[in-house]
């Protein structure tokens, strides 16, 4: 099964720096290198929050988990956050291994993520 | 991996529950990529053999390759998941979480890895044990 990768920068000025990577299909040994490439290209720019929308992710192996932890590491290094949203029950078992790692945010849906981002952006404004 | 897709189609046609199918696919993907990356050193011309079988209550995946002797069941005992970003061992951990039995033998220069998962009887209802 192939993997479709869509990378979107949030147009909402209140969410500047928020980049969403939507994954549809299978993230495995064969498809992980392309996501790795696109993700690194994306992280070369200004990104404060990296969000993975997993609503369409049907399969993930350790090659995929490695990329999520890599993203997390990069985001933590720049004071940002990596978030996972819309994870389907089918793939939860694979994620169980990395979910407990610190620095990952897990949100059930977009509404929950939006509430979190609004708070984060609010605290940025207060701090600046 | 073609074998993973074949497994998915076969298991689905046999009415195996989706959650178990996912675990079986994951186990095959991890063991298969391990063979390709390490045993066969990513040589596309070298092949390994996968057999899948469903008896009345057990799903069996058998992988055979002619790479150097490697017993992943020993590796599974040795490698512990790391707290930090070191995915070494995650693959084998994923296999362990989704499979009931792993058996390794080396016969006539061939690695034979047998993964078995109970699927709960002819109606494939989850086993209670």
CB B11 within 8 A of CB B120: no
The answer to whether the Cβ–Cβ distance between A62 and B87 falls below 8 Å is yes
Give the tokens for residue A40.
């690194």
A-chain residues near B82 (CB < 8 A): none
A-chain residues near B19 (CB < 8 A): 89-90, 93
Which pLDDT value is given to residue B77?
Answer: 55
Dist. CA B44–CA A99, nearest whole Å: 34
Which pLDDT value is given to residue A102?
Answer: 65
Question: Which residues between 28 and 57 in chain A have a beta carbon less than 8 angstroms from any beta carbon of chain B?
Answer: 28-30
Q: Is B29 on the interface with A (CB under 8 A)?
A: yes
Q: Is A16 on the interface with B (CB under 8 A)?
A: no
Q: Is B22 on the interface with A (CB under 8 A)?
A: yes
Please report, for residues A105, A110, B2, the alpha-carbon distance to residue B25 in angstroms, rounded to integers and kept in the order given: 27, 29, 11
Mean pLDDT of A46-70: 93
Query: pLDDT: is A99 or A56 the higher one?
Result: A56
Nearest to A59 among B25, B33, B81 (CB): B25
Q: What band does A1 get if pLDDT is binned at 50, 70 and 90? A: confident
- DSSP E strand stretches across chain B: 49-54, 58-65, 101-107, 110-118
Complex ipTM tops 0.90? no
Which pLDDT value is given to residue A95?
Answer: 83
Dist. CA B115–CA B5, nearest whole Å: 17
Question: In this predicted model, what pLDDT tens digit does every residue of A11-51 receive, in sequence order?
Answer: 777 778 899 999 999 999 999 999 999 999 999 988 999 99
Cα–Cα nearest to B30, from A61, A69, A33: A61
Q: Kindly report the pTM of this predicted structure.
A: 0.84
The answer to whether the Cβ–Cβ distance between A97 and B18 falls below 8 Å is no
CATH, range A3-113: 3.30.750.24
CATH class as words, domain B2-70+87-128: alpha beta
Which pLDDT value is given to residue B85?
Answer: 47
Above pLDDT 90, what percent of chain A? 48
| DSSP notation for A33-67 | HHHHHHHHHHHTS--SEEEEEEEEEEEE-HHHHHH
Which pLDDT value is given to residue A106?
Answer: 82
B-chain residues near A62 (CB < 8 A): 30, 87, 90-91, 94
Which pLDDT value is given to residue B121?
Answer: 60
CB B40 within 8 A of CB B67: yes
CB B33 within 8 A of CB B1: yes
Which pLDDT value is given to residue B83?
Answer: 47
The answer to whether the Cβ–Cβ distance between B30 and A61 falls below 8 Å is yes
Helices (runs of H) and strands (runs of E) counted in chain B: 4, 4
Q: Is A72 on the interface with B (CB under 8 A)?
A: yes
The answer to whether the Cβ–Cβ distance between A97 and B91 falls below 8 Å is no
Q: Is B85 on the interface with A (CB under 8 A)?
A: yes
Mean per-residue pLDDT of chain B: 84
Query: Would the pLDDT of A128 be above 60?
Result: no
Which pLDDT value is given to residue A101?
Answer: 66
Residues of chain B with pLDDT under 70: 76-88, 121-129
The answer to whether the Cβ–Cβ distance between B87 and A59 falls below 8 Å is no
Residue A1 C-alpha, separation from nearest chain B C-alpha, in angstroms: 7
CB neighbour list of residue B2: distance below 8 Å, 6 or more residues apart: none
């Amino acid at each position: 099964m192939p993997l479709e990768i869509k990378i979107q920068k949030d147009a909402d000025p209140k969410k500047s720096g928020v980049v969403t990577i939507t994954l549809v299909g299978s993230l495995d040994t064969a498809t992980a290198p392309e996501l790795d490439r696109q993700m690194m290209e994306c992280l070369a720019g200004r990104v404060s929050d990296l969000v993975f929308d997993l609503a369409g992710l049907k399969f993930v192996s350790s090659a995929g988990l490695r990329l999520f932890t890599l993203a997390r590491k990069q985001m933590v290094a720049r004071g940002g956050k990596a978030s996972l949203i819309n994870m389907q029950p089918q793939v939860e078992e694979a994620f169980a291994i990395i979910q407990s790692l610190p620095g990952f945010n897990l949100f059930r849906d977009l509404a929950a993520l939006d509430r979190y981002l609004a708070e984060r952006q609010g605290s940025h404004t207060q701090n600046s | 991996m073609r074998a993973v897709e074949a497994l998915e189609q076969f298991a689905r046609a046999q009415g195996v529950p989706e959650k178990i199918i996912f675990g079986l696919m994951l186990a095959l993907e991890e063991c298969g990529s391990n063979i390709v990356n390490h045993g066969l050193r990513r040589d596309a011309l070298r092949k390994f053999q996968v057999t899948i079988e469903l008896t009345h209550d057990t799903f069996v995946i058998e992988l055979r390759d002619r790479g150097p002797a490697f017993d992943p069941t020993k590796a599974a005992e040795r490698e512990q998941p790391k707290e930090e970003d070191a995915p070494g061992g995650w693959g084998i951990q994923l296999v362990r979480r989704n499979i009931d039995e792993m058996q390794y033998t080396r016969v006539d220069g061939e690695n034979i890895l047998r993964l078995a998962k109970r699927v709960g009887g002819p109606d494939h209802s989850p086993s209670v044990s």
